Structure 1
Amino acid sequence: MHFKTLALSLLGLLWTIPSLAETATFSPTQGVETTLVLKGSTLNVAVKGETHNESRTVDFEAVNELHMQFDDFNFDGAQDFAIWQLDDGMGTYDYYRVFIYQVKTGTFEELQPDGGDGFVNLRVDKKRKALLSTYWEMNITKQCVTRFSKRKA
């Protein structure tokens, strides 16, 4: 009888524990504060600046745990972020969605690679100012090099 009462009490306690969310706050540029709240497969982005405020939600099709990464992905001096996860298969590849801070609008814009459908196994090459990722063409692994010198700011 005591075991049943204990089990029911523990089960009730588990239902009352809130879902854990990962929160990070950073400044993409001076005078701007960004807060990211990652809960399950949903990301809430709140940007507060002197002239512009933005709040939006980004949904991910994710089975595995999502992770945050911060870097200057387009080499413009502003802090950007990426959300990544291991692939749902054997956990061999990392899939990234990269969000670039746009100084003119005070918002984050999702970046697409110059090759392939998305950033897989992303690496930041600061020396060449390029993002390196993997894609497949006719089941052959290729490297995508995403450069920013040709892109508009």
Structure 2
Amino acid sequence: MQFKTLAVSLLGLMWTIPALAQTTTFSPTKGVDATLVLEGSKLNIAVKSETHSESRTIDFEAENELYLQFDDFNFDGVQDFAVWQLDDGMGTYHYYRVFIYQVKTGTFEELQPDCGDGFVNLRVDKKRKALLSTYWEMNIPKQCITRFTKRKPE
């Protein structure tokens, strides 16, 4: 009987674990603190510095679990982040939404790829300073290269 009680208790605990929020704090640049709270399909972003404070929520309308990844996605020396998930099918593709920290405004802005509808199977190519992802044209997978050297600075 004790085993049954323990099993039911553990099962109940396992069901509550995904509901817990994942909180991450990092500094995109000196003097700025960003706190990300990932709870289910919602992401709360709070950015604070001496001169600016921003807080907002993004709903990802995601069925699968969301994950955070940190990197300098636009190669400007400032820490950015991405939120990714596996596709709803066989879990073959990773779908990313990339958020770039804008020093002038003190906010994170979502980055769009140079081709396709979004970043799929994103790879950061630091040597070429480009983001590599997959997109489809007539059901044929192709490589998208998103570069930053041609973009005007914010």
Q: Give TM-score scaled by structure 2 length.
A: 0.89
User: In 1, distance between residues paired with 2:42 and 2:136?
Assistant: 28
The alpha-carbon deviation at position 79 of structure 1 amounts to 0.1
% identical aligned pairs: 78
Local SS of the residue matching 1:115: coil
- CA offset digits 1:95-151 (Å, max 9, x no partner): 000000000000000000000000000000000000000000001110000000111
Residue 71 of structure 2 aligns with an amino acid whose one-letter code is D
After TM superposition, which residue ranges in structure 1, 4 or more long, deviate above 6 angstroms?
none
Find the counterpart in structure 2 of residue 31 from structure 1.
Answer: 31
User: In 1, distance between residues paired with 2:77 and 2:44?
Assistant: 23
Find the counterpart in structure 1 of residue 89 from structure 2.
Answer: 89
Local SS of the residue matching 2:84: strand
Residue 80 of structure 1 aligns with an amino acid whose one-letter code is D
Residue 77 of structure 2 aligns with an amino acid whose one-letter code is G
Aligned residue pairs total 149
Which of structures 1 and 2 has the bigger CA Rg?
1
User: In 2, distance between residues paired with 1:101 and 1:48?
Assistant: 12
User: In 2, distance between residues paired with 1:152 and 1:43?
Assistant: 29
Residue 79 of structure 1 aligns with an amino acid whose one-letter code is Q
The alpha-carbon deviation at position 53 of structure 1 amounts to 0.5
Q: Give TM-score scaled by structure 1 length.
A: 0.90
Local SS of the residue matching 2:131: strand
Find the counterpart in structure 2 of residue 142 from structure 1.
Answer: 142
User: In 2, distance between residues paired with 1:108 and 1:57?
Assistant: 12
User: In 2, distance between residues paired with 1:133 and 1:61?
Assistant: 22
Local SS of the residue matching 1:122: strand
Counting only pairs closer than 5 Å after superposition, residues 71-110 of structure 1 correspond to structure 2 as 71-110=71-110
User: In 1, distance between residues paired with 2:20 and 2:115?
Assistant: 35
Find the counterpart in structure 1 of residue 111 from structure 2.
Answer: 111
The alpha-carbon deviation at position 38 of structure 1 amounts to 0.1
- CA offset digits 1:28-87 (Å, max 9, x no partner): 000000000000000000000111100000010211100000000000000000000000
User: In 1, distance between residues paired with 2:138 and 2:61?
Assistant: 25
User: In 2, distance between residues paired with 1:61 and 1:41?
Assistant: 6
User: In 2, distance between residues paired with 1:152 and 1:88?
Assistant: 36
The alpha-carbon deviation at position 152 of structure 1 amounts to 1.9
